Amino acid sequence: MNTDAVNQSQFVTLNGSGAPVLSRLSYVGTEPFAVNIAFRTERGRWVEWTFARDLLVTGLAEPAGLGDVRVRPDLAADEDILILEIESPDGYALVEIEREDVERFLDAAAAVVPIGSESEHFDVDAFIAEITNV
């Protein structure tokens, strides 16, 4: 069993569609500040986004994010839903995900790298080597 990564699949609502979309949240201990969410497309491919784990943590309680990814509780309609907004030059998506699914994912990710201790698990030298070895 790999204890330095967390993967969790769930169905989400995308852009208010009635048909659920399969998504996958991922976290890897070697990239302690980031989470990944992927959506399965009609052709069986995955569209992936990577963003700060802190956005999910903060977004459980209040709106978080100013850029391409924003997270907030859906207090207007259903407090059990978390809203994830993703924007790029290619388009915009509004994702509704069960709050309980995000909480379970964050708990599992915190077991890999506790929230607040990310910098202790980040290998700066390896990162510099990676970005300069182009």
Q: Is the torsion defined by CA of 119, 117, 83, 28 positive or negative?
A: positive
Per-residue pLDDT, 107: 95
Element (H, E) at 130: helix 124-132
pLDDT at 114: 86
Q: How many residues are present in the chain?
A: 134
pLDDT band at 1 (very low <50, low <70, confident <90, very high): very low
Question: Would the pTM of this model clear 0.85, i.e. be above it?
Answer: no
> What is the average pLDDT across 28-33?
88
Residue with the bigger pLDDT between 92 and 77: it is 92
SS3 56: helix
**Least trusted range by pLDDT, from 14-23, 51-60, 99-108:** 14-23
